[in-house]
Amino acid sequence: MYALQSWPLRQHEATQRAVDVAQRHRPGGTGAGSWYDVIPLPGARVALVAGQVENPGLSAVATMSRLRTAVHSLSTLDLDPHELLARLHTTTRRLSGEQSDASALGSAADEPTASCTIAVYDPAVGRLDVARAGTSLFAVVRPDGSVDDRPVEDGPLLGAEGPPFACATHQLPEGSTVCLASAPAPGDEGARPDGVMAALSRPDRDPEAMADDLERLLAPDRVLLLARTRRLSADELAVWEIPFDFAEVGTARTLVEDRVARWGLALDPFAVTLVASELVTNAIRYGAAPITLRLMKEGPGLVCEVSDAGQAAPHLRHAKAVDEGGRGLLICASIADDWGVRYTDAGKTVWAEIGTKAPSPG
């Protein structure tokens, strides 16, 4: 009864373009700190999280709640899953120290450890990045019925040995199903591999039906999260390669203006093209080839992303009145609802959301 589950309506609406989700919790009353989350990320991406604090009891529930809060906070940094787990490990160690200091009877056996799996799915390209701490259940079912029950290796527990954590990247066809479940406690029977395979090997069913079969296999007080992947359609996504030449900024501006008109979005064309051209200019001036411009419809607005092969961090500058440049990101920040940057092994992506926030009631 102490398992924490989070699937509010706001998250469902924000992530349903990327995944269809089913979730379950098998009650047991032992006080285990299990949790799952589905967290919307910029660019229509979604983070899938399932975790389990190892030692049962009220302290595990408190630790679980704090770890879940940390995951939400760290997700705003747009880190790769293995980097997020590394920082979550540091948080777990800090909680362990606080718990030991608060109790004169504190011992190594009382120090919290946790298993956690974090998967980030990008519906624009079908890419799944995953990292795992511990030995919790994680499997991927493809539309043809093939099941990969070890898409990522086991990793050390959070709060125990520490990084590096096991990680992997997979390219998923649309309609794949990602399965995450919290790990059974020592002595619990948990899910039998043959039973899991049988429950997962029929991808023609919807996630709710698959979750019904898997729920019976869960150990007490454990949670299950199933996500059926989607892909963005041509009516929601546009991608262009932009030559590494300042003369092509005007071309990028024209492409964006034409696409916004084709999609029929009620946005100010000048504002949208200004943001796109400033991001492309910034990538050419401070980044490295190749440059990719990507537009995604997001409710009444859109997301503009510009990726390049450079790793230099963009900085929002406040130019002096006599400066002829240095205002690009400041302009974007002023016009956009939100903006940010994320890094990959291949470089970085700077993104801006325009017109995606519903107006506040008057």
Side chain identity at 208, as an amino acid letter?
Answer: E
Give the other-Cβ count within 10 Å of 84's Cβ. Answer: 23
Look up residue 97 and give its two tokens: 């120290």
* Lookup result for tokens 């604090």: 53
The Cα 155–Cα 174 span in angstroms is: 28
Give the pTM.
Answer: 0.88
pLDDT value at position 175?
Answer: 95
What residues contact residue 166 under an 8 Å CB cut-off, 6+ apart? 82, 131, 132, 152, 153, 154, 155
Q: What stretch of H or E contains 64?
A: helix 58-75
301's tokens: 């607005």
Rounded average pLDDT per 10-residue block, the chain, 362 residues: 45 73 79 82 94 72 86 91 94 76 51 89 96 90 90 90 90 96 65 73 87 83 90 95 96 96 92 94 93 93 95 63 54 86 90 78 46
**Helices vs strands, H then E, count in the chain:** 8, 16
Q: Where are the domains of the chain?
A: 4-229, 237-354
Q: Does the 4-229 domain belong in CATH 3.40.1280.10?
A: no
Collect all residues with Cβ–Cβ distance below 8 Å to 162 and sequence separation of at least 6.
Answer: 86, 89, 93, 156
Q: How far is CA 104 from the centre of its chain?
A: 39
Between the alpha carbon of residue 315 and those of residues 230, 329, 342, the distances in Å are 34, 7, 13
Angle at 298 between CA 12 and CA 81, to 5 degrees: 60
What tokens were used for 269? 């064309």
Q: For residue 189, what pLDDT is reported?
A: 59
Residue 199: in which H helix or E strand, if any? helix 193-200
Nearest CA-CA partner of 93 in 163, 166, 32, 3: 163
* The CATH number of domain 237-354, selected from 3.10.20.30, 3.40.190.10, 3.30.565.10, 2.60.40.60: 3.30.565.10
pLDDT of residue 182: 81
Helix H or strand E encompassing 250:
helix 249-263
Q: Answer yes or no: same fold for 4-229 and 237-354.
A: no
| Cα–Cα distance for residue pair 56/29, rounded to 1 Å | 10
